[in-house]
Each structure stands twice: as C-alpha cells, then as structure tokens.
Structure 1
Amino acid sequence: MQKPDSLIFDMDGTLWDAVDTYASSWNLTFEKLAIKRIIGRDELMGLMGMEGRKLTKILLPDLDDDKAMGIYMDVNETRRQIIPTSGGNVYPGVTEGIKQLSTKYKLFVLSNCAVGIIPLFISWAGIGNDITDSIAYGYNGMPKHHNMQILIDKHELKNPVYVGDTQGDAEQTHMAGLPFIFVSYGFGKTDDYQLRFDDFESLTAYYMSL
C-alpha cells in the first residue's frame, strides 16, 4: 500500500458516538407527530451508517416512501437543532489526532448523514481548522463510493484511504478502488481491511510515522 496523501474519515462510529442524540431526534419527532413509537439506543446502533432510504424502510416499514422520508427529514431537522447542545462522545484521541494528522495530510469527513450534521460534529470536536472538506449522503443522495470520487476529483487526491468502522464502509471503499482502514472500536465488524486500529491514538501514531 502506497503512502497516502489524504485520509477520508467516516463520522459515526469512527470519530464520535452520537447515537443517544440521534435516538432523541427520532423520539422527539415521533412525539410531535403523535406516533406511538420509541427508538432505543440498541435498535439504532445496528442501523448506523445506513443510507436514509434504507433506514426508513426498516424503521417505518408500514409507511410509503414519501411519508417515511418526510418523517426522516423532520428527524434530521430536529437533529440539527439538538446536536449543538446534546452533541456526542468524541472518541479518545480524535481531536488531538486530527490536529496532528492535518499537519501532514489533507483530511476529509464523508458520512451517510443529512446535510448540516458534519459541520455540527466538526464544531463540537473543535477541528474546524483541520478538515479540508466534507460531504454527506444528504448532499446528493448518493452512496459513499460515489462521494469518495467527488472528493478525489475536486481535490485532485492521488492516494487517499478511507477510515471507517463497518462492513458497509469496507464494501463502499473497495467499490471506489481505495484501501479500507478499519477502526475496531466503532459500531461494526469486518475482516475486509488493509489495516486495522483498535484506538485512534494508534492510527495517529502510524500515519504520523510514515
């Protein structure tokens, strides 16, 4: 594997855990719409990283696509409102590691989330000066491999890698023709990776040593 010129990071399960806040955004929306449903952390945890349309089919199977996506849009608006105060748990070593890595690499965040969530995470983590660019599923409704290519073309990246925490991340990364770097402390499991790190400090140390 060649030395990378850039690192593209997944967000949820890779840089932070905001599942409790995400669950609250669903439950506040259900309450507002008088839907008798409560989503717990464990239920949502198994769905993290999923594209919006797939997610709504699982969580709202009895609703037609338009109605389900309308609720999903409501949830994301609620989420944008509560993240600045509820936030999430940034994983140990992430804020410091990103600041170090940005001195040596172009850094990006690419997530299957709604528009506006990544900037709120970046602000919460205090890494606004360290991230070159970001792209979310909500920007164009396209899968991760497509959005990886957008970042590659836009920034003329030569040897990027994608860092994520799920089998889906691995599959999308390989579809984009990139090396997949797995962090094992997140939400998923996979054996399909080029490198594996069990904490963010180890990842930082490795890439700073290249």
Structure 2
Amino acid sequence: MNNTRNYDGLIFDLDGTLWDSTQTIADAWNAAASKFDFMDTGIHRDDIRRTAGMPYDAIYDKLFPSLNNEQREQLRAESGKLELAYLQKQGGILYPELEQTLKQLQTKYKLYIVSNCQSGYIEIFLKYNKLESYFTDIACFGDKRLPKGENIKQLVERNKLQQPVYIGDTQGDYDASVKAGTPFILAAYGFGEVDTEVESINSFAELQELI
C-alpha cells in the first residue's frame, strides 16, 4: 500500500466509475425519440457507453449528426427530461462493494463528484442510492456549462484541497485531470481506456488498497 501521497480529497467521475446507468438512459432516450417523426433509429446502451465522459450537449452532436440544430435541441430537451424521470424510478447499477468502499474511504478523505452530465443527474444518483452523506461537494457540466477540467479546478479551489486526485474511466477524464493539474487514477473496469500509462484499479474496492 502506498501511503506517501497523502491525498486530502478524492474526486470521482460518475458514469463508468461509480455506476452504470446506460440501460436506463437508453430506455429514456428511446422513449423521447419515439415522440419525433424525424427519429427513425433506436438508441442502444452501447451508444451511451461510447459517449460517456463527453459534455452532455456534445453527445447529441456525435450520436445524431444528421439532425439539424433545431431537431437536435428538441431531442436533447425531451431526452434530458425523460432521463431524469427514468433515473428517479429505475436508477442504475452500482459497481460492486461501492458503498462499503465509500464508507471506508470517508474515514480518511473528503469525497467529491465531478461529471459532464446535465444538472440534477448527480443529485438523483445520490438520492436514489442514499449516498448523499458520503460526498462533500459536486459539480457538473450542466450547472455552468464548463468543461470538466475547469469544474475540477473550481471544486479544488472552493474546497481548499492541497493534494486531490481524480478517479475516472475515460481518456476525457484523464485529459480533464491534466488540465486541472490533479493526479489521475483510471477505473479500468469502466467504459473507456487511456492511451497513457497511469495508475489504475480493476474494481472500485481496489481503490482502498491503492491509496
């Protein structure tokens, strides 16, 4: 066990790091798509997985390039509304031993979440899983429409963290941590991978051993 880093804050990505909500989101987006005659293709959970970590608005640009701006905005608004409604009812799948691990980590570190999701998404994750008490602060793209790196940086500054680390599962998460000037740990069990050699964990519970 490496105890030389003395982290004072653990900042987590959400999707692919703390839980997998891709099926619920796909269900919600398909329900939204069915309301528009310009949508003739279905949305699969793999579509959600491969766009995980991207800013919320950019996901629609990538998945629906044939739509014009007005159509994309209509779909995004309806999908976003239904996504939150579906998540409130169905939630997602927590990674194994997540709450037990958070409970242990909380005895040593302050815990935070920074995600590229829409406003309200992190709050639903916390409420649905009854995890509010574990986290000190959160930030997301939807609040101020800031890139993840800037949200990490602002969270670090307002919480006066001296030695934080960001834990995420995609190249975008790693890039954001670099821009924010924070060390990075890869959640290798998640949705993506990183093209740089970094410290990694193969399960959420492994984080206790690493730090």
Answer whether TM exceeds 0.5 for this pair: yes
Residue of structure 1 equivalent to 2:22 = 19
1:129 alignment partner, SS class: helix
Q: Give the alignment of 1:19-168 within 5 angstroms.
A: 19-34=22-37, 35-168=39-172
CA RMSD of aligned residues (A): 1.5
1:32 alignment partner, SS class: coil
Alignment check: 8 A CA contact 2:28 2:82 kept = yes
Q: How many residues align?
A: 207
1:37 alignment partner, SS class: coil
1:92 Cα deviation from its structure 2 partner = 0.3
Percent identity over the alignment is 34
Q: Deviations over 1:168-202 (max 9, x none)?
A: 11111111111010011000011435421111111
Looking at structure 1, the residues matched to 72 and 195 of structure 2 have their Cα atoms a distance apart, in angstroms, of: 34
2:134 alignment partner, SS class: coil
Question: What's the TM-score once normalised by structure 1's chain length?
Answer: 0.93
Gap change, CA 1:149 and 1:66, over 3 Å in 2: farther
Looking at structure 1, the residues matched to 141 and 5 of structure 2 have their Cα atoms a distance apart, in angstroms, of: 28
Alignment check: 8 A CA contact 1:145 1:172 kept = yes
Alignment check: 8 A CA contact 2:29 2:43 kept = yes
Residue of structure 2 equivalent to 1:9 = 12
2:5 alignment partner, SS class: coil
> Higher mean Cα deviation, 58-67 or 135-144?
58-67
1:74 Cα deviation from its structure 2 partner = 1.6
1:63 Cα deviation from its structure 2 partner = 2.5
Alignment check: 8 A CA contact 2:47 2:63 kept = no
Alignment check: 8 A CA contact 1:179 1:194 kept = no
Query: Aligned AA for 2:25?
Result: Y
Stretches of structure 2 lacking an aligned partner (at least 5 in a row): none
> Higher mean Cα deviation, 20-29 or 43-52?
43-52
> Higher mean Cα deviation, 40-49 or 178-187?
40-49
Query: Aligned AA for 1:105?
Result: Y
Stretches of structure 1 lacking an aligned partner (at least 5 in a row): none
1:164 Cα deviation from its structure 2 partner = 0.2
Q: Deviations over 1:86-139 (max 9, x none)?
A: 111100011111121112111001111000010111122321111001111111
1:66 Cα deviation from its structure 2 partner = 4.4
Gap change, CA 1:204 and 1:73, over 3 Å in 2: farther
Alignment check: 8 A CA contact 1:18 1:88 kept = yes
1:53 Cα deviation from its structure 2 partner = 2.8
